[in-house]
Amino acid sequence: METESKIRKIAFIGDYLPRKCGIATFTSDLLTSVAAEYPQTQCFAVPVNDVEKGYEYPSVVRFEIEEQDLSSYHRAADFLNISNVDIVCVQHEFGIYGGPAGRHLLALVRELKMPVVTTFHTLLREPNDTQRRVMQELIAHSTRLVTMTERGHQMLQDIYRAPSVKIDLIPHGIPDIPFVDPNYYKDQFGVEGRVVLLTFGLLSPNKGIEQVLNALPQILAEFPDVVYIVLGATHPHELAERGEAYRLSLEILAKKNKVEKSVIFYNRFVELEELKEFIGAADLYVTPYLNEAQITSGTLAYAFGAGKAVVSTPYWHAAELLAEDRGVLVPFGDSGAIGREVCGLLRDATRRNAIRKNAYKLGREMVWSNVAHLYMHSFEQARLQGASLSRKLFATKTLDQQPRELPEIRLDHLSRMTDSTGIFQHAILTVPNFSEGYCTDDNARAFILSTLLDELKEEPAHVGTLSSTYAAFLNYAFDNKTKRFHNFMSFDRRWLDEHGSEDSHCRALWALGVAVGRSPHRSFQIMSGQLFAQALPVVTEFTSPRAWAFCLMGIHEYLRRLSGDRSVSQIREALIDRLMDIFDRASHPDWPWFEEALSYDNAKLAHALILSGCTNGHQKAFDRGIQALRWLAGVQTSENGHFRPIGSNGFYHRGGTRSNFDQQPIEAQAMVSACLEAYRATKDTWWYDQAQRAFDWFLGWNDLGLELHSVNTGGCHDALHVDRVNANQGAESTLAFLLSLAEMQLMQNAVTVFSEPAL
């Protein structure tokens, strides 16, 4: 019966028949069912090909994706965006998409302009870091999430932090098979007068067929008329890797157990109509799978919905579906238990028929026509939401979910601290301290800030003047003879050092890289690019881990615009290896860190590996960065849950007592920036919460409950002491606050723009 819907076009992404796999069958059945129930809605498929020549698809397939070709996913997104598709329905299973943990799929969903509804066919209880990141980003880019079991609903929340409000529970669809006597079908397969046990599905070693073969002697001793039918072709991946070795081993086992006359192998992939006849002929259905971590089984759903008495191991889907006398569960790998339970059901016709009826009754809710309506309801919800709920990170209403309103960006104190030469290092209260002069460290930070303010379009004329001042300072600080940056300059413009520190040199490189990669001003790009090229090579001689980290930050920004620079990429690889090496040598199970102490600007070390590992495809570097930053976040969390940076009054040496004061703004800024980068890379909102928590330190969410930033000027106090804030508002602290504020604002702007529905 036709049902009205405002949705006019739906694209289904996943495998598709005639490809031989469970996802292909599911996608084909779902599309066909939705199209049948809603004939006014155009449905088409976008399948993924795992072979070079693809498949002989039906006309409903409109576009094909090559599994390992990343550009193919981008092209698919372009096709869907220009095709006026209302909803995209994604079937997710890690193994059917290209890239580590199938992350090529993310390249597609990131670019889609319409709501995405994702069905999860596999949910892992203990995903590795790559699988977790893929899942969390896919969840973030999906408007609605579909799981087929209650356990799946809970796992999405508990393991992957998916919001409950966007999860729909829709059972696996099944064909509408009548509840008939199995003897009606048996003559078609030459098993009339016999008791039929059935297992069907693609064969692979995890299916546990050998457990049933080992149980058969026990079963046949009491019921000699039993025949065991194993229906299904060998899984294509198993066939490609090991051929028919598994099937052959099963045949050998059957002969060894002397049950070969009671076992029939049908080595083929059958179409639905014939499959229904096989299921109809079964007296008992057996799923002896060896692993509990299977959240969905289409074969189980089909047999269960047809009203078959099922004997199964307690994998997740079976444990849930067969509860309350709807089937029988046996331990994993226990052929004796399979034999006992099969014999028990064959002896007790009353119990067997009661189980059949219970299963069939629940199965009526699972027929494809009903499932199609449930999916369309999910699609309608997605359409009304307009854009992904998870993209609307800042649209929630309750205080515990929404970020606190960011302070206004004020440049009064920054301007006061800057003269025609550069920004002064220190202040006496809010008055610039001329006697302490200037430094490259602070002017580099100020140049980064001015570039971010350009992105935010804050006071363009004024910010342009400030940018020119800081750029000129860095240009003047570079010594063409030594190829190093000076650091300290007196008020009368005399350099006070032969060359600066490794850290200050690399902060300058970082700032220059930001200008190359982000500045809208061509003059800044050119000047910074030329200076960057001259100053970079010497870094290979440096030994400071923080210098390496700052340099990696600059390289990342530089390569945003000039990604083809091979020499710069080679230096990046070398610096990544160095940071990885010191991490591996210094870290311990209770101290996963780069050094034996936490000192200053700590989060930058982890930040550099997260950033470089993510953009460079260096998985181990990324994983170490995430591991280190997560540990650091825990170390810098107080008993009351607020951010507590490592104090500079003694720092924190492994095995020693950490210093809680004097807390420095630079530590909060480093944590804000690193956690925002982790959030961008993983789409895990926990990282955004950590960034917000670190930023809130400036606003009074700290050990003393005192604000460090100045509402009136935009400046920031130099430290949080044990009993007070430091009254002075120097350059480092003020820049730390303003950089944190600018990064938080850029993130909010990006998410807000992305989440607003198109007009």
May I ask the CATH class of domain 183-366?
A: alpha beta
Just give the CATH number of 9-173+370-385: 3.40.50.2000
Q: For residue 94, what is the DSSP state?
A: G
The upper half-sphere exposure of residue 25, i.e. CA atoms within 13 Å in the direction of its Cβ, equals 20
| 303 contacts 172 by C-beta, under 8 angstroms | no
Which uninterrupted H or E stretch holds 11?
strand 9-14
Instruction: Give residue 399's pLDDT.
Output: 33
Average pLDDT, the chain: 90
**Residue 619 binned pLDDT confidence (cut-offs 50, 70, 90):** very high
Q: What is the DSSP letter of 90?
A: E
Lowest mean pLDDT among 80-94, 387-401, 422-436: 387-401
Mean pLDDT of 489-502: 95
Q: Which of 23-27, 69-73, 241-245 has the highest mean pLDDT?
A: 23-27
Percent of the chain with pLDDT over 90: 68
Is it true that 9-173+370-385 and 438-575 share their CATH fold?
no
Model pLDDT for residues 645-663, shown as the tens digit of each residue: 999 989 999 989 999 999 9
* CATH tag for 438-575 (out of 3.30.750.24, 1.10.10.60, 3.40.50.150, 1.50.10.10): 1.50.10.10
Report CA-CA distances (Å) from 565 to 569, 570, 707.
6, 9, 44
> Alpha-carbon distance 258 to 495, whole Å?
93
The residues, ordered by sequence, that sit 6+ positions from 250 with a Cβ below 8 Å of its Cβ are: 209, 210, 213, 230, 265
DSSP string, 216-282: HHHHHHH-TTEEEEEE-PBPHHHHHHHTTHHHHHHHHHHHHTT-GGGEEEE-S---HHHHHHHHHH-
* Cα-based angle 145, 146, 149 (whole degrees, multiple of 5): 135
618 vs 660: CA distance, rounded Å: 35
pLDDT one-digit tens code per residue, 339-367: 999 999 999 999 999 999 998 888 888 99
Question: What mean pLDDT comes out for the span 204-220?
Answer: 92
Pair of tokens at residue 407: 């302070």
Pairing of strands 65-66, 328-329: unpaired
Higher pLDDT, 394 or 520: 520
Predicted TM-score (pTM) of the model is: 0.52
The predicted-structure confidence for 570-581, as pLDDT tens digits, reads as follows: 999 999 999 999
Contact between 500 and 486 under an 8 Å Cβ cutoff? The reply is: yes
- pLDDT at position 205 is 87
| Domain chopping of the chain, boundaries | 9-173+370-385, 183-366, 438-575
